[in-house]
Amino acid sequence: MNPLRPVNVLLVEDEAGDILLMRQTLAGEPIPISIHVAVDGKQAVEMLSQDQLKPDVVILDLKLPKLSGLGFLEGYRHNAPVVVFTSSSNIHDQQRALELGAKEYIQKPLDLGEYTRIVSQIVRKWVLSRGDSTAASQ
């Protein structure tokens, strides 16, 4: 991966507190991360359809206004992995999200330390671990 190019994260999340927490958590990473926020599924689709944003990973909540996370996944046709990061513990949501192509389904932890650890792990697993292959495709 080109160390000068920041990692692009598309965060699809409507809760202001979760957006702030995600920004604070990713600001602590040792690499530059650019977070692009869509507050609903419809806005996320619009951002991706303009082809100006090429995320390295999409972090997706399920309970969203206008277009749900599952609705977003139904129409998602990009290469970036999608990690569902939601408060929903519904097994049907989990099964459906994975059927629709989500790479991982993670229930948001209530513990702040655990939240920080998991968010960091998402970026490291789905972006940094692909470093060599990502750099070759740039």
The count of other CB atoms within 10 Å of the CB of residue 112 is 10
- Residue-level pLDDT at 132: 37
In a domain, 21, yes or no: yes
Output the CA–CA distances (angstroms, integers) from residue 21 to 70, 90, 123, in the order listed.
23, 23, 15
pLDDT in tens, the chain (138 residues): 445 678 999 999 999 999 999 999 999 888 889 999 999 999 999 999 987 789 999 999 999 999 999 999 999 988 899 999 999 899 999 999 999 999 999 999 999 999 999 999 999 898 876 653 333 332
In a domain, 2, yes or no: no
- Residue-level pLDDT at 27: 92
- Residue-level pLDDT at 31: 85
3-state helix, strand, coil in the chain (%, to 5): 45, 20, 35
In a domain, 133, yes or no: no
Tokens (6 digits) for 26: 């990713």
In a domain, 55, yes or no: yes
Tokens (6 digits) for 43: 């806005």
In a domain, 134, yes or no: no
In a domain, 138, yes or no: no
The count of other CB atoms within 10 Å of the CB of residue 105 is 20
Tokens (6 digits) for 44: 């996320």
In a domain, 137, yes or no: no
In a domain, 135, yes or no: no
- Residue-level pLDDT at 6: 85
E strands, 69-138, where? 82-86, 104-107
Q: Identify the domain containing residue 36 by its residue range.
A: 7-128
Query: What CATH number is attached to the domain comprising 42?
Result: 3.40.50.2300
- Residue-level pLDDT at 2: 46
- Residue-level pLDDT at 23: 95
The total of structural domains in the chain comes to 1
